[in-house]
Amino acid sequence: MTEKATPMPQIRPVNEYTGMATLNHAFYVVDMGEPEGIALPSMTSDTRITATDSNSCLTITAGSSEWEPVKISFLVYDQEPVPLPGEWRHTETFTCTATDTPASFTTGTDPDDMFQDPPPDDLFNRPGLEPPYHWKGRLLIAAHEVEEHVLQFWPA
C-alpha cells in the first residue's frame, strides 16, 4: 500500500486588490507609505523589481511597452504562501517596508492613471503591530491577453 502525498492547502490572502493599469512608462512605482525617493527601474530582464535603500518604495519594470495595459494584483497574507499556480514567465522575491501612511501607486507621472478604482488605504498595514511593517514578497509575471503581474506579500 502506498501513501498519497497530501497537497499543500492554498493559503487565502487576508487583503487583496486587483486593477488594470495603463502605464505611462514601461514601469510603475509602489510607494509603501513614506519613501525616501524612488528606485530607478532595473534595466535587466533578470531583475524586474527594484527597492529603494529603505525598502519603502518598489519600482516594477513591465515587459510591455509604454501605454500598454497591465493587470496588477496585490495579495497580502498572514504567512508565506505557495506561488500561485499557472504558467509564470518570471518569478522574483523581494523585501519591503511599509508605514501606516496609505500606500500609493503611480506609472511614473500621474497616479490618477494607475488604476480606475484606488486600492484600499490599509493594504499594507498589519493589525496589532506597530509600524514600520516588514514584508517579504514575490513578483509573478505572465503574458496572457494582457501582461499580468501578481505581487504576493507576507510578514518578514
What is the rounded (10 degree) CA torsion for 9, 15, 19, 24?
-110
pLDDT for 77: 95
Residue spans of the chain under pLDDT 70: 1-9, 64-67, 108-118
pLDDT for 64: 65
pLDDT for 4: 57
Q: Which three cell numbers stand for residue 26?
A: 514601461
CB 137 within 8 A of CB 77: no
pLDDT for 105: 79
pTM (predicted TM-score)? 0.86
pLDDT for 89: 93
pLDDT for 11: 86
pLDDT for 47: 92
